[in-house]
Amino acid sequence: MKVEEGKTRQASLEAEVEELKDENRELRGLFTQLRLDLDEQTDRSLRDHINFFNLKEVGEEKKWTDTMPVLAKWLAENVGGGTVEYYDKAIVRAHRGFRAPGKSGPRPIYAKMDYRVAEQIRQVLKFEKKDGVVVKDHYSAGTQTRLNQALIHRKRWMAANPIGTAYVKYPAVLKTKKATDLNYATEQEY
């Protein structure tokens, strides 16, 4: 009698544990999807933010009012399509970030500006260096982490396939193409 009760109770508990495991899996999937949705929403709200790397510092540049004229002048000289005053009015704020440990060179500039001007700058400077300056989009922490992982994977893939080509599609999808392939294939999504 007691043995039968114990077996019944054990079977009931095992069924309950399985239900909890299924619920846990479902909640983890929902959390992951919510995190991705939040990152996407944050990334969309950051479309008016651009980061500038290797732009020489002029003087101390302790405040954003010191950095804005430097950035406006550089944009007028290297992007075109506007004067220093045009870019100065378009910049909402621009400040220097912290110096990266172990790296020399100027501190990066993080700028928020009028969305249309930001898009113009992206179109002109997105994939090229101008005067040694690199322009990058600003992403949420989650997207940036996934993007970094995809870039590391891309570097390894390129080392293993020197004749192939690869790129990272937004938000963090590694697309690869070997010399014998006709089209790019998804290598991995992060």
Which H or E run contains 109? strand 109-113
Which H or E run contains 42? helix 2-45
Give the CATH architecture of domain 49-138.
2-Layer Sandwich (3.30)
Segment 155-169, tens digit of pLDDT: 999 999 999 999 999
- Domain coordinates of the chain in residue numbers? 1-45, 49-138, 142-189
Question: What distance in Å separates the CA atoms of residue 104 and residue 168, rounded to the nearest whole number?
Answer: 27
pTM of the predicted structure, to 2 decimals? 0.71
Tell me the pLDDT band of 81, cut-offs 50, 70 and 90.
confident
Q: Which conformational region is residue 80 in: left (phi greater than 0), alpha (psi within -120 to 50 degrees), or beta?
A: left
Segment 118-154, tens digit of pLDDT: 999 998 887 788 888 999 999 999 999 999 999 999 9
Collapsing DSSP to helix, strand or coil, 50 comes out as: strand
- Provide the pLDDT for residue 59: 84
Query: In terms of Cα–Cα distance, which of 170, 86, 81 is closest to 124?
Result: 81
Q: Which residues pair with 50 in a beta bridge?
A: 111, 137
Q: Which amino acid is at 106?
A: P
For the sheet with 109-113, list strands across it: 91-96, 109-113, 49-53, 134-137
Q: CA 23, 29, 32, 37: dihedral to nearest 10 degrees?
A: -110
